[in-house]
Amino acid sequence: MFTYQDALDYLYSFVDYGQMRTYKYSAQTFDLGRMFKLLEALGDPQTCYPVLHLAGTKGKGSVSAMCASVLQAAGYRTGFYTSPHLQDFCERIRVDDDLIPREVVAEIVDAMRPLVERVPGLTTFELNTALAFAYFARAHVSVAVIEVGLGGRLDATNVVTPLVSVITSLSYDHMNLLGNTLAEIAGEKAGIIKPGVPVVSAPQKDEAREVLEGIAAERGAPLSFVGRDWLYRPVEHSLERQTFEVWSAREQLQLNAWRTRGHALSWVPLKLEIPLLGQHQVENGAVAYAALMTLRERGLPISPTGMQAGFRSVNWPGRFEILSRHPFLVVDAAHNRDSAQKLKSAIAEYFPGRRVNLIFGASSDKDVAGMFTELLADDTVARAILVQAVHPRALEPEELADLAQAAKPDLAVEVVPPVARALERALYFSTPEDVIVACGSLFVVAEVQAASQLLIAD
């Protein structure tokens, strides 16, 4: 019988594209036929419960977490599959608030071994995904929230036929794999759209929106957009949480008609509160709300109070998360130019006028120059401390230093491995009024989270 460590060693003994700097992204490399064969041998566990399936460049994890939290608050036993993890593999697979138990990982992986031997070419992510599907069936979940790993069309999760598909904000990332234009990237993400299955999308640039509309029309999948069919507005925010209002375009049309006829209006939009910070999380919240309302139309009742309770209690670490104060220590998983711009806006919104010391590390396939263009656009960042996370794809910090100096020649830049030592340096240079921001990679965020528990007593 496997131990937990045996199971992890076994899973990671297969091809793990998440650890590789380069590989070919094609239907030959990512053959969904392998997943169908393995899942058939496992009894097709992915068909045992309704699914909400989410893809996108940015925000898909946050939207997934919000949806899972609301479904749980609404009384559903909710499976949630996400990747990568921050500290522990078990974070990827959970039912309600509980991570998959380590002994269950060992038990299911051990039972899968003889079946895996019959399907050549399986990858680590495919096995992880099969493990999640099998566990959710075993745990008798009443609904599962499934986040795409990479892309959509060829992703191992794309064997499900969901009740609702969701596509979050699309921007440039993994261009070497998914395409160099927004249209190409949108085509890959839209691969999760299934015939007749409703699709909810975040607001998109025209180039991406037109692709989504074309593919949805081809497949007879009703498509709605936040910003057009679902409306929202921010209300207020603090360093702890923010509130926003959401409503449908149909409600807006009805309101407009009532106003024209001179009726007194007592209706107010639903107000939701989230502990996630930044304007982009309000948009993510609106996408989650739209997805959940569409799920409700598909037969999963969710009350307004369940909706409010679930949004209020969502927990999604590493996304503009404030770990400590005096100085503020903020970690954010921003790892492309668009998310760096959103991070920069959030810093300006929550910490106006404060000096920032930046801890930055990135993977070798990222647009680091673009991220630095956004993050170093003004004099907010006083110092950049460049790091290399413990990950095979991490870019050498000396290369990061050259790119940072190119973006801002007069910036104080230093290379400080490892990440824990970089946090010590950032604390040394920071006054109680300063802000330390760690970003560029989820792996950097994870290492800063771990180091902060040892270095900082708030």
Neighbours of 444 (CB within 10 A): 29
State the pTM of this model.
0.93
Instruction: Identify the domain boundary among 293, 312, 331.
Output: 312
Clarify whether residues 433 and 297 are in a common domain. Answer: no
- Residue 244 is assigned to a structural domain of this protein: no
Clarify whether residues 219 and 345 are in a common domain. Answer: no
Strand 98-99, strand 143-147: pairing: unpaired
Instruction: Identify the domain boundary among 312, 342, 376.
Output: 312
- Residue 251 is assigned to a structural domain of this protein: no
Instruction: Identify the domain boundary among 291, 312, 333.
Output: 312
CATH of the domain at 445: 3.90.190.20
One digit per residue, the tens of pLDDT, for the chain of length 458 reads 899 999 999 999 997 665 544 444 555 567 899 999 999 999 999 999 999 999 999 999 999 999 999 999 999 999 999 999 999 999 999 999 999 999 999 999 999 999 999 999 999 999 999 999 999 999 999 999 999 998 899 999 999 999 999 999 998 765 556 767 999 999 999 999 999 999 999 999 999 999 999 999 999 999 999 999 999 999 999 999 999 999 999 988 888 777 777 666 677 899 999 999 999 999 999 999 999 999 999 999 999 999 999 999 999 999 999 999 999 999 999 989 999 999 999 999 999 999 999 999 998 888 999 999 999 999 999 999 999 988 888 899 999 999 999 999 999 999 998 999 999 999 999 999 999 999 999 999 999 999 998 877 54
Clarify whether residues 66 and 183 are in a common domain. Answer: yes
Clarify whether residues 64 and 155 are in a common domain. Answer: yes
Neighbours of 19 (CB within 10 A): 11
Q: Which domain holds residue 436?
A: 321-455
Clarify whether residues 355 and 308 are in a common domain. Answer: no
The three-state DSSP-derived secondary structure of 365-376 is CCCHHHHHHHHC
Residue 359's SS3 state is strand
Q: How many residues does the chain have?
A: 458
- Residue 256 is assigned to a structural domain of this protein: no
Predicted confidence at residue 22, as pLDDT, reads 47
Clarify whether residues 303 and 416 are in a common domain. Answer: no
Clarify whether residues 283 and 357 are in a common domain. Answer: no
CB 30 within 8 A of CB 129: no
Residue (of 350, 200, 216) closest to 283 by Cα position = 200
Q: Which long-range contacts (CB under 8 A, 24 or more apart) does 233-238 make?
A: 233/269, 234/279, 234/282, 235/271, 237/277, 237/349, 237/350
- Residue 18 is assigned to a structural domain of this protein: yes
Q: Which two tokens stand for residue 24?
A: 């070919």
- Residue 240 is assigned to a structural domain of this protein: no
- Residue 419 is assigned to a structural domain of this protein: yes
Domain total in the chain: 2
Neighbours of 167 (CB within 10 A): 31
CATH of the domain at 299: 3.40.1190.10
- Residue 245 is assigned to a structural domain of this protein: no
CB 244 within 8 A of CB 271: yes
What φ, ψ does residue 454 adopt, rounded to 5°? -95, -30
Clarify whether residues 336 and 440 are in a common domain. Answer: yes
Q: Which long-range contacts (CB under 8 A, 24 or more apart) does 102-108 make?
A: 102/4, 103/4, 104/135, 104/138, 105/4, 105/7, 105/8, 105/131, 106/1, 106/2, 106/3, 106/4, 106/6, 106/7, 107/1, 107/2, 108/134, 108/135, 108/138
DSSP type of residue 395: P
Give the Cα separation of 17 and 86 in Å (integer): 18
- Residue 284 is assigned to a structural domain of this protein: yes
Clarify whether residues 99 and 136 are in a common domain. Answer: yes
Clarify whether residues 170 and 279 are in a common domain. Answer: yes
Clarify whether residues 90 and 195 are in a common domain. Answer: yes
Clarify whether residues 380 and 292 are in a common domain. Answer: no
Residue (of 5, 13, 2) closest to 89 by Cα position = 5
Q: Which two tokens stand for residue 365?
A: 């396939």
